[in-house]
Structure 1
Amino acid sequence: MAYDGVLLIAFGGPTPGGCARIRENGEPCPGPEHGNPCPEGSPDEAHCFVQGILGKTPARAARTNEVAGHYRHLGGFSPFNELTFRQARTLEVALRKRGLPLPVRAGMRHWGPSIRDVLKSLAAAGHRKLLATIMAPHQSRVSWEWYLSTVAEACGEIPEAQRPVVDVIEPWGTHPGFTGAIAALVRADLDRLPPDRRGNAHVVFTAHAIPVAIAKSGPYCRQFEETASHVAASLGLSRHTIAYQSSAPESSGSWTGPDISDALRDLKAEGVRDVIVSPIGFLVDHVEVLYDLDVEARRTAAALGLGFVRSGTVGSHAAFIGMLADLLAERAKRQDG
């Protein structure tokens, strides 16, 4: 059977009216303990989103309030979903140009449209064999494995006669299409620096911190380091730094490091004057990029007297979308063969 659709499996972010739509689809509002969904456009929606991820235990309340505050600082919501939908639309065009006219849909693990609802919608429309990619460049239990289990659970709720097969393509964190897109963005940032500061500028690559206990059981850190090394080689860098961000230090157990703030302090002590921070563990600009880097890390750099440039995420960069289209088309061709 030929593939008849494509699914982008993503994290999700809070959007206005999301709580009401979640309840309309028969799921509980993921946040506060009240009978009605949060009013559309209310900051409570971001609180719901964060609480749905972290849980409602008293031990997580402070962290929930902190992260929800990051969303409020940015207007209460996240551009994550719309940026992912843009990737889906761009990918659909790229696939069509490769002779693969398939619908591309995005499903979110932590917000609507949920992975479950998107799969049910595709199944109801007659789609029975889907290609999928996880919209995360590096594998860990809290990314890839949870996404895969969410897909499996969602498919299990669909009647067997309608249940689609979902084939997920392999990780692509070191593919030249991904690393080349990152390198192009960083190179443009380097070129914009004054010539007298360009030679001393130092590139820092970041990814989301994860608990060390989880990191030890998977390839996440190695894959992150490999992505950074490939990009650095493309740029001809003699040295670079990797750092982690967005950790939850109040939780039990240690998290991967060094933290971005510590890395900036170390670079200042070494005499670095300017840093370009490239968030290679993230595909679009969302709260971990727009707040944790653009606000917190920038503030740290300013206090240290460091010049700070935050490089862009790959988003819908032509090289990145072209890579996804090529990988999906190659997988479809193998299936047909």
Structure 2
Amino acid sequence: MPKQAVLLLAHGTPETVDDIPEYLRNVVSGRPLPEHVIEEIKHRYSLIGRSPLTDITLEQGKLVEAELAMEGIDAQVYVGMRNWKPYIPDVVRKMRADGVEEAAVLCLAPQNSRTSVGLYKRAVQAEAGALKIDFTEGWAYDPLLADAFAERLRAAEEKLTSELGSPVPVLFTAHSVPCRTIQTPAANEGQPRHWPGEGVDPYAQEAKHTAELVAARVSGIPKWWFAFQSQGASGGPWIGPTVEDTLTSIAAEGVKTLLLQPIGFLCDHVEILYDVDIAFKEYAKSLAIQLERPESLNTSLTLARSVASLAIRGLRRLQENEPPLA
């Protein structure tokens, strides 16, 4: 039987503030960034100390490996990052050197955008060689993923409800992407192509559907909204509505306490620790809103079971020579 493994892919994060210029060059594929953008990112990282994304992702990999072992599957879990160490190409080469012949590959960004998840896939394929891979394109609709987010949200909702004596509404968020990402090929005519294939990018629809699945699992939420956060500082328009505009509208409805749950991120990093915990909380305070958020998934065992379940399906498809799940 071929030697099988699992490869988890994530964004990556710089280890120090001094690493940020090189890291940002990786993020934008070498395109020049204005100096003020670089300095702003350095400032944000300095305020949170360091991003724990890599450490948490490596721990998530260990939890998934343990879940696989509980199912009787002896498969090592590798972790590769697109924009920082351990880089995806280096990890794929190590897998091949370790004798891995087949790998189930998942991007730890459940909602599929061809200009983000698609880049991860191409990075794996470029180094795969004879290594057979099954790439899970997206898993925004996975029930266990929704369960994991709902567990965190339910705990935060119950705590606030107990303190305030009434249930608290929720704002779900996901990372924004450039408008060109979700436009149809016709709308992008004459523009450089960033992904292979045709059709409308599914990201926005999948992000909103994840929010719907989570909200349906937490009883008692009086109302919820959805917004896109962390729009880029350059490169044209990004999709909305923004969190800031949505908070302004929510304040106009008289809301005084609000839970914000990012359902596009699986662990703490700068877009949560700075964007939510610092910037959005300060903006909400200026609108007389107390903004709180549930604990991030991080080392959630339900998340680990979700990823392990998807990996098992991928490994089985490889055994049966079936096409990957679209």
TM-score greater than 0.5 by the shorter chain: yes
For the superposition of Structure 1 and Structure 2, which TM-score range results when normalised by the shorter chain? 0.7 to 0.9
SS at match of 1:87: helix
* 1:181 corresponding residue in structure 2: 148
- 1:295 maps onto 2:281 in alignment: no
What residue is the counterpart of 1:234 in the other structure?
A: 217
| 1:71 alignment counterpart | 45
Q: Residue in 2 aligned with 1:205?
A: 172
Residue of structure 2 in register with 1:30 after alignment = none
CA 1:334–1:164: 2 relative to 1, 3 Å: closer
Shift of 1:49: 1.3
Answer yes or no: is the 8 Å Cα contact 2:25–2:32 preserved in 1.
Answer: no
Paired positions, count: 303
Tell me the residue number matched to 2:8. 8
The DSSP-based 3-state class of the residue aligned with 2:121 is helix
Q: Which residue of 2 aligns with 1:308?
A: 291
Q: Which moved more, 1:204-213 or 1:233-242?
A: 233-242
Per the alignment, do residues 200 and 188 of structure 1 end up closer, same or farther by CA in structure 2, a change over 3 Å counting?
closer
Q: CA deviation at 1:10?
A: 1.2
Question: Does the aligned pair in 1 maintain the 2:176–2:230 contact within 8 Å?
Answer: yes
Contact kept, 8 Å, 2:134 with 2:318, in 1: the verdict is: no
**TM-score, normalised to structure 2's length?**
0.87
User: By how many angstroms is 1:48 displaced?
Assistant: 2.3
- Post-superposition CA distance 1:225-244 (Å, at most 9, x none): 10011111111345311011
For 2:161 and 2:172, how far apart are their aligned partners in 1? 21
> Contact 2:173–2:263 at 8 Å: present in 1 too?
yes
Q: Please say if 1:326 is aligned against 2:305.
A: no
With normalisation by structure 1, the TM-score equals: 0.85
CA distance in 2, matches of 1:187, 1:92: 27
Measured after TM superposition, the shift of residue 57 of structure 1 is 5.5
CA contact (8 A) 1:202 1:240 kept: yes
Larger RCO (CA within 8 A; separation ≥ 6): 2
Equivalent position of 1:123 in the other structure: 96
Listed as ranges, the gaps of 5+ residues in structure 2 are 184-199, 321-326
Give the superposition deviation at 1:92.
Answer: 0.5
RMSD of equivalent CA atoms: 1.9
Deviations 1:240-280 (A, max 9, x none): 110111112x4243211111111111111101111100010
* Post-superposition offset of 1:201: 1.6
Contact 2:101/2:132 (<8 A) preserved: yes
Q: Which segment drifts farther, 136-145 or 191-200?
A: 191-200
Per the TM alignment, residue 281 of structure 1 is displaced from its structure 2 partner at its CA by: 0.7
Q: SS of the residue aligned with 1:193? A: helix
Aligned to 1:92: 65
1:147-186 equivalences in 2 (<5 Å): 147-156=120-129, 163-186=130-153
Does structure 1 retain, via aligned residues, the 8 Å contact 2:134–2:315?
no
What residue number does 2:191 align with? Answer: none
Answer yes or no: is the 8 Å Cα contact 1:3–1:332 preserved in 2.
Answer: no
CA positional deviation for 1:155: 2.2
Aligned-partner residue type, residue 15 of structure 2: T
Does structure 2 conserve the Cα–Cα contact (< 8 Å) formed by 1:12 and 1:110?
A: yes
State the AA in 2 paired with 1:97: M
Specify whether residues 54 and 328 from structure 1 end up closer, same or farther in structure 2 by C-alpha distance, changes over 3 A only.
closer
| 1:274 and 2:241 are equivalent in the alignment | no
Structure 2 CA distance for aligned equivalents of residues 81 and 196 of structure 1? 35
User: Match of 1:136, SS?
Assistant: coil
> Does the CA contact (< 8 Å) of 1:191 and 1:198 recur in 2?
no
What percent of counterpart residues are identical?
Answer: 31
Deviation of 1:61 after TM superposition, in Å, equals: 2.5
- 8 Å Cα contact 2:88-2:123 kept in structure 1: yes
**Separation in 1, partners of 2:33, 2:304:** 40
Q: Is 1:259 aligned to 2:242, yes or no?
A: yes
